[in-house]
C-alpha cells in the first residue's frame, strides 16, 4: 500500500481520495482552506463539495502543503486549471525527491495554449519530475464518491507510468483503461467542456434532444479535427475521453458546465452564473483557448467560435444558435478525412 497525496480538496480531489482509500492506500488530502480541512478531519465529510458522502478513515486532511507531501512519491493534482501553476511552484519548493504527478484537470490555458501536462513539465524542475500521467474520462465526482460504476483512461508518454496509475486506482467500481495518446486524451477532456456549455445553452433556450445530439456529434467532429491536427490519434476521440466524456457532460445535471450553460440559455449573465455556481466551470476559460487554437491551427470550430462570441463578445445565445444554423452547407466528414490524409 502506498502513501499518496491528493492536491485539491474540491469535488474531484475528494472523490479520487475515496477511490484510493478504498484500494487501501494512505491518502493525504490537501486543501488550501483550513476550515474545510478541519471539517474533513472532524466530521469525515466535505459537505460543500460532496454533500452526504462519508470519507474513509484512511483519508486525512492537511491544510499545510509542506506537511501533506511528506513521504509521497505520487501526487494527484486536482485543482482548477487556473490554480495549477501556483500550486506547482509551491510544491516544487517543498520536495527533494522526484515524483509522479497524476493530473485530473480538464482545461487548456488561454494564450499559452498549453495542455496541463505541458504546464507541469514547464513548472516542475526536471530532476523533481519522474512522470506525468493524466487520468480522464466520463466521471462525475458525485457518482464516483458513491461508488457508482465509472470508467476512465490513464495516459502518459511513459506507458509503464500509465499502467502504474491504472493499478493504483482500478477497482470493482472504478475501471481504468490505458491509452498512450496523451495529446488526444487531454484535448478531448478539455474541449468537451465547451460543448457541454453549449448543450446547456440549447436546453436553456428550450431546444430539445435533437439539438443535444447535434451538439454532441458536431462537437465531437470539431474536437477531433483540432485534436488530430495537434497530433492526437483520431481514434482516441471515439473513446472514453472523447465521446464518452461528451455524453456524460452534455446530458447530466451533475455537470457544472452544462448547468452554467443552462442558466446562460435562460438569460442570466455570465458573471452572475459563475458567482452562484460555487465550483469551477472550466469550459469558460477553455472556450477562449479553443477559439485561439482554432485560429492557430486553421481548423473550423463553429460551435467553439459561437460560444466564444456569447461568453466574451456579448452575442445573445439565441442569435449564436441562429448564426450556426445559417452557415453555408458543408460535407459531414470532409474536413476530418482531409486532415487524416495529410497527417
Ligand atoms: N467534479 C468532477 O466531477 C470532475 C472534475 N474534473 C476536473 O477536476 C478539476 C478540479 O475540479 P473540481 O474538484 O470539480 O472543482 P471544485 O470547484 O469542486 O473544487 C476546486 C477546489 O480547488 C480549490 N482551489 C481553487 N483555487 C485554488 C488554489 N489556488 N490553490 C489550491 N486550491 C485551490 C478550491 O478551493 P475553494 O474552496 O477556495 O474554491 C476547491 O477546493 C477541474 O479541472 C475539473 O474539470 C475532472 C473530472 C470530474
Ligand atoms: O468532467 C466531468 C465529468 O467527466 C465533470 O464535468 P463538469 O466540470 O462540467 O462538472
Mean pLDDT value of segment 265-273: 97
User: Do the Cβ atoms of 105 and 79 come closer than 8 Å?
Assistant: yes
Q: For domain 3-180, give the CATH superfamily.
A: NAD(P)-binding Rossmann-like Domain (3.40.50.720)
**Which residue's CA is minimally distant from atom 43 of ligand 1?**
105
175: left (phi over 0), alpha (psi -120 to 50) or beta: beta
Task: Give the residue from 184, 151, 174, 178 showing the smallest Cα distance to 162.
Answer: 178
pLDDT digits (tens, 9 = 90+) for 218-228: 999 999 999 99
User: Do the Cβ atoms of 290 and 308 come closer than 8 Å?
Assistant: yes
Mean pLDDT value of segment 167-178: 98
**Which residue's CA is minimally distant from atom 6 of ligand 2?**
255
- For a mutational test of ligand 1's pocket, the pick from 6, 7, 8, 248, i.e. the residue with the most ligand atoms closer than 8 A to its C-beta, is 8
**Which residue's CA is minimally distant from atom 7 of ligand 2?**
255
Cα–Cα distance, 179 to 244 (Å, whole number) = 14
Cα–Cα distance, 229 to 298 (Å, whole number) = 9
User: Do the Cβ atoms of 98 and 91 come closer than 8 Å?
Assistant: no
Confidence of residue 15 (pLDDT cuts 50, 70, 90): very high
Mean pLDDT value of segment 299-321: 97
Instruction: Give the pairing of strands 59-62 and 26-30.
Output: parallel
Taking the alpha carbons at both ends of the chain, their separation in whole angstroms is 44
**Which residue's CA is minimally distant from atom 45 of ligand 1?**
106
Mean pLDDT value of segment 135-159: 98
For the beta carbon of residue 307, count every other beta carbon within 10 angstroms.
29
Cα–Cα distance, 25 to 18 (Å, whole number) = 10
Residue by residue, DSSP assigns 146-173 as TT--EEEEEEESSHHHHHHHHHHH--SS
Query: Annotated binding site: which residue ranges?
Result: 11-12, 32-33, 49, 106, 137, 139, 141, 192, 245, 255-257, 280, 282
Type and span of the H or E element at 69: none
- For a mutational test of ligand 1's pocket, the pick from 50, 75, 79, i.e. the residue with the most ligand atoms closer than 8 A to its C-beta, is 79
Out of 24-28, 216-220, 332-336, least confident range:
332-336
What is the CA(103)–ligand 1 centre distance, in A?
Answer: 12
In this structure, the dihedral spanned by the alpha carbons of residues 104, 109, 115 and 116, taken in order and rounded to 10 degrees, is: -30
- Ligand 2 shell residues, CB under 6 Å: 106, 138-140, 193, 196, 245, 248-249, 255-257, 282
What is the CA(342)–ligand 1 centre distance, in A?
Answer: 38
Is residue 269 annotated as part of the catalytic site, yes or no? no
Mean pLDDT value of segment 328-332: 91
Confidence of residue 157 (pLDDT cuts 50, 70, 90): very high
- The pLDDT score that the predictor gives to residue 338 is 72
pTM (global) more than 0.95: yes
User: Which percentage of the chain shows pLDDT scores above 70?
Assistant: 98
Cα–Cα distance, 304 to 291 (Å, whole number) = 6
Instruction: Report helix, strand or coil for 26.
Output: strand
Residues in the chain: 343
- The pLDDT score that the predictor gives to residue 341 is 72
When the pLDDT of each residue in the chain is averaged and rounded to a whole number, the result is 96
Q: Which of 28, 192, 212, 288 is an active site residue?
A: 192
Type and span of the H or E element at 188: helix 182-205
Residue 334 pLDDT > 90, yes or no? no
pLDDT digits (tens, 9 = 90+) for 77-116: 999 999 999 999 999 999 999 999 999 999 999 999 999 9
What is the CA(139)–ligand 2 centre distance, in A?
Answer: 7
User: Do the Cβ atoms of 214 and 222 come closer than 8 Å?
Assistant: no
Residue position matching grid coordinates 461528451 = 246
Mean pLDDT value of segment 160-182: 98
Out of 73-77, 314-318, 330-334, least confident range:
330-334
Task: Give the residue from 167, 165, 191 showing the smallest Cα distance to 294.
Answer: 191
Domain residue extents for the chain: 3-180, 187-342
Cα–Cα distance, 242 to 35 (Å, whole number) = 37
Task: Give the residue from 92, 79, 167, 81 showing the smallest Cα distance to 118.
Answer: 81
- Kindly report the CATH class assigned to 187-342: mainly alpha
- The pLDDT score that the predictor gives to residue 336 is 64
User: Do the Cβ atoms of 185 and 153 come closer than 8 Å?
Assistant: yes
Cα–Cα distance, 325 to 321 (Å, whole number) = 6
- DSSP classification of residue 275: H
Residue 68 pLDDT > 90, yes or no? yes
- The pLDDT score that the predictor gives to residue 333 is 83
User: Can you tell me which atom of ligand 1 is nearest the CA of 141?
Assistant: 3
Amino acid at each position: 500500500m502506498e502513501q499518496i497525496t491528493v492536491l485539491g480538496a474540491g469535488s474531484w480531489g475528494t472523490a479520487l481520495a475515496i477511490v484510493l482509500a478504498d484500494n487501501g492506500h494512505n491518502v493525504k488530502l490537501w486543501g488550501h482552506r483550513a476550515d474545510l480541512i478541519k471539517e474533513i478531519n472532524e466530521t469525515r465529510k466535505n459537505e460543500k463539495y460532496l454533500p452526504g458522502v462519508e470519507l474513509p478513515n484512511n483519508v486525512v486532511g492537511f491544510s499545510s502543503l509542506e506537511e501533506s507531501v511528506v513521504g509521497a512519491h505520487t501526487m494527484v493534482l486536482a485543482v482548477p486549471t487556473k490554480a495549477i501553476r501556483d500550486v506547482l511552484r509551491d510544491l516544487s519548493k517543498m520536495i527533494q525527491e522526484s515524483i509522479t504527478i497524476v493530473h485530473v484537470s480538464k482545461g487548456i490555458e488561454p494564450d499559452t495554449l498549453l495542455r496541463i501536462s505541458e504546464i507541469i513539465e514547464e513548472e516542475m524542475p526536471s530532476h523533481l519530475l519522474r512522470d506525468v500521467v493524466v487520468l480522464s474520462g466520463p466521471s462525475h465526482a458525485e457518482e464516483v464518491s458513491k461508488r457508482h460504476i465509472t470508467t476512465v483512461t490513464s495516459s502518459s508518454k511513459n506507458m509503464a507510468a500509465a499502467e502504474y496509475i491504472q493499478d493504483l486506482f482500478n477497482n470493482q467500481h472504478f475501471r481504468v483503461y490505458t491509452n498512450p495518446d496523451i495529446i488526444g486524451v487531454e484535448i478531448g477532456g478539455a474541449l468537451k467542456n465547451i460543448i457541454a456549455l453549449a448543450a446547456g445553452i440549447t436546453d436553456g433556450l428550450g431546444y430539445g434532444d435533437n439539438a443535444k445530439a447535434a451538439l454532441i456529434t458536431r462537437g465531437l467532429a470539431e474536437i477531433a479535427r483540432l485534436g488530430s491536427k495537434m497530433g492526437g490519434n483520431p481514434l482516441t476521440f471515439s473513446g472514453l475521453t472523447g465521446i464518452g466524456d461528451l455524453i456524460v457532460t452534455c446530458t447530466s445535471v451533475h455537470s457544472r458546465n452544462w448547468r452554467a450553460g443552462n442558466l446562460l440559455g435562460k438569460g442570466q449573465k455570465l458573471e452572475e452564473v459563475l458567482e452562484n455556481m460555487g465550483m469551477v466551470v472550466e469550459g469558460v476559460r477553455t472556450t477562449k483557448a479553443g477559439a485561439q487554437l482554432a485560429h492557430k491551427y486553421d481548423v473550423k470550430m463553429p460551435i467553439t467560435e459561437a460560444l466564444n462570441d456569447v461568453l466574451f463578445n456579448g452575442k445573445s445565445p439565441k442569435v449564436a444558435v441562429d448564426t450556426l444554423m445559417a452557415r453555408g452547407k458543408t460535407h459531414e466528414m470532409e474536413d476530418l478525412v482531409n486532415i487524416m490524409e495529410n497527417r
